[in-house]
Amino acid sequence: MVFLPGHGKGNGETADVAVILPELVRALHPRLKPAVAGVAAERALLARTGMMSLPALVFLRGDTLLGSIPRVRDWSDYLQRIAEILASDGTSDGKGSPS
């Protein structure tokens, strides 16, 4: 799971997702390995995912894009979407559930 904070965008939701991220990792341990994207990685992942809203969580298995979750969500929505994304094989459009 890669956190795209929206470098330079000044989005107020970035801090909220940053607080939620470790809670998701704790709740879903050991299924998630978290990372925070630097500027270059964020740009590359945005290009690959079709330029989603930020901040966002992007889910990868190796080089395979499984899906993404843009913006802040309810806790139950995160858990449901992450379960769906992790169960996928990456053959869909890579965007996970609809926003």
Reply yes or no on whether the pLDDT at 91 is more than 70: no
Contact (Cβ atoms closer than 8 angstroms) between residue 14 and residue 55: yes
Note the pLDDT tens digit of each residue in 24-64: 999 999 999 999 999 999 999 999 888 779 999 999 999 99
CA separation (Å) from 36 to 4, 10, 43, 55?
6, 16, 13, 11
Q: What is the pTM of this model?
A: 0.86
d(CA 89, CA 66): 7
**Which domains does the chain carry?**
2-87 (3.40.30.10)
CA separation (Å) from 59 to 10, 36, 99?
23, 12, 15
The average pLDDT across 57-83 equals: 95
How sure is the predictor about 11, in pLDDT bands with cuts at 50, 70 and 90? confident
Q: Which of 69, 65, 37, 76 is nearest to 53 (CA)?
A: 69
Residue 32 phi/psi, 5-degree rounding, is -115, 140
